[in-house]
Amino acid sequence: MALSILCGCKALQESSKYQFNEGTYKVKTPAHTGKAYVVISEDSIKVYPLNVPVFDSLKFIDLSLPDKTARPIGGRHSFVTNSFDLDLLTILFKYRPSVYGFPNQFTTHLNGAAYVGYRSDAFSVLYSKKPLYYKRHIEHYGYSMGGFLGMGATAMNPWVTRNNITEEYDGFVISKGIALNIAVNAFTFGLAVGWDHLMDRNRKYWIYQGKVWTGVTLGLNLN
The model's pTM is 0.79
Whether 76 and 119 have beta carbons less than 8 Å apart is answered as no
Cα–Cα distances (Å) from 100 to 158, 194, 199, 207, in that order, read 13, 19, 21, 8
User: H-type helices in 60-125, by residue range?
Assistant: none
**pLDDT one-digit tens code per residue, 110-150:** 899 999 999 999 999 888 889 999 998 888 889 999 999 99
Strands 78-96 and 187-198: unpaired
Q: End-to-end CA distance of the chain, in Å?
A: 23
* pLDDT greater at residue 58 or residue 126: 126
**pLDDT one-digit tens code per residue, 24-57:** 999 999 888 999 999 988 778 899 998 877 777 7
pLDDT of 17 reads 65
- Calculate the average pLDDT of the chain: 87
Predicted confidence (pLDDT) at residue 8 exceeds the cutoff of 60? no
